[in-house]
Structure 1
Amino acid sequence: MSAGIDAIAVLALIALPDATLDALRRDYTLHYHPDGLTADAPGAMTALQAVRAVVTNGSTGFSDAQMAALPALEIISAFGAGYENVDVAAAQRRGIVVTHAPGANAATVADHAIGLLLALARGYAPLTDAVRAGRWRGSRAERPTLTGARVGIVGMGRIGRLIAARLRGFDVTTGYHTRRAYDDAPGRHYADLLELARASEFLVIACNGGAATHHLIDRDVLRALGPHGYVVNVARGSVLDTQALIDALADGALAGAGLDVIEHEPEVPRALLDHPGVLLTPHIAGRSPASWLAQRDALLASLDQHFTRTAVEFAVPTA
């Protein structure tokens, strides 16, 4: 790391692990505002003038207007793989580098998806509640099993492929939906998402977020999955139409859902909280000691490479 780099001002707009904060504070002048920066915050406007780097993530993002408020900004780093709410076009127009951490948490997300699939099929949460309530004898009906099931995966990037690899141990029939087929991808490609849903007992959402996939999983897809079907979302909350999900569950058109992400999080509709076939985790699929370490290392490497004028390995490609 070059001399004088510790004087560089970095603005972090998301909650970060302690080890990452320690590293940033050691090497940079850190302005930490995980709840957002307002103009009336002490010294806020002064700090804005000096900031040369921003740390955000795909959910929080960073807009053109926010970039305009930071006249010294040179680099925006997304902590994690996603950067869908960063205005990349505006950044490129302004000469600002955008980076992320591709693959850093993919294995952890894939593990979480498998956990949700197993928990939904075998009924871990409602059966635990039943045993605690003294309903042992009345709760021993048969449950679906993942082994031999038909599983559809929406998205076949790093995470989708790792999910598919883990599913091989369950002898499932795998299908996937992407814009185009991949010769090296496992399972059958379905150009028609509805056709994939009809052919699946479990549907796992593992695609990118953003405008292109907003409400991709809608009423028709959920109802094509059917009354014995389950949907798991470890992608972005915006991909799954929440009201359509609530309606399908209420009508018995869908058996259940495992959601690590949800629209308008952290607010969760009461209908989902109360449904016994719904499992909810608080957007932690990608969080593990290993993934946070990898994301920290990618962030620090990107900042160091940029400010020492070397090639930035994890820069988002220019359009």
Structure 2
Amino acid sequence: MTSLADVGRMRLVAQRLVASDMPDVTSVVRWMTCMQAQDLPAARIAMAKRAGTRSLADVDATLDSGAVVRTWPMRGTLHVLLAEDVRWMTDLTRERQNRQARRTHEELGITDAVYERAEGAARTALAGDGLLRNELLDVWRAAGLDVEGQRGYHVIGLLATRGVICQGAMTGKQQRLVLIDEWVPQARELERDEAIVEWATRYFRSHGPATLKDFLWWTKLLASEVKPLMPTIMESLECVTVDGTDYFMDPETPERYSRHKAATAKPMLLSAFDELLLGYTDRSANLLPQDFELVVPGKNGVFFPTVAHRGRIVATWKRPAKPGATVAVEPFSTLDPVVDRALPRLSRALPQ
């Protein structure tokens, strides 16, 4: 019988945090569908760990190639996803994202007229190699637009959800904002129902065991849109019931878990905002509810990097100033000696 603890450890296998068969970063993102990425350094670690590389340069090269794009496909939050998926995903979520942000835009004075002026200036300024965020803000200031405080950030997000811009090549530690028509000249186009079926199927395969409620929270799609399509979605998935709740997953996940169960018990370091936590609305399979505020102090939305053991989050960690030094941990209770002994090795293995 599958337990909630099994669900948490099976997710390690499904997300390729254990026994990854992903040959490169692009393959990781294709498998994961979307990975939360408002914290770019954390997202780079999350991608590298699943690709089995210690080189963050491999991640940067993938971003520079345009194969993987960082933009706002859902929840008003930055994610990384395949370039070929950008258009159909943002098409699917655009109306809902814009509706959810409307009140904030009104409070900030981002009217249709302001947006149109910002878009016009951006299309001219970003043509070619694009600009860094601060450079684009300067362009808008020169055009007489008020982009102080959060206004500039929200206008950039609005341009992204409307399919005008995305984040492109790295310049130092930042990405350039680029025109999506130039950076992603060719992308897949899917009909709405086809898009929902594909997105749900890929989510459950890479994140499952997961519930329908998890998927609806993750994408912010409506139950009325997804439920009628569940028979089609289920054609390529397996369902397991745990404590009266149905979880959906890749049919290969149980067998992979059986083969790699011992590895799922080993300690590991996870990046901030990792999909192991951010991929679900119910995180209790990997994080005890009473420990949530230890990972997200004050419930402010900022997820710390974490330490997992036996599939359960047991501590948070901070990277030391000296590369290769052992991370500093804040355990939730007394750490198992197995975790203590593993920390130096895990620290040295962190992608650099």
TM-score norm. by structure 1 comes to 0.27
- Higher-Rg structure is 1
Q: Which has the higher contact order (CA 8 A, sep 6+)?
A: 2
TM-score norm. by structure 2 comes to 0.25
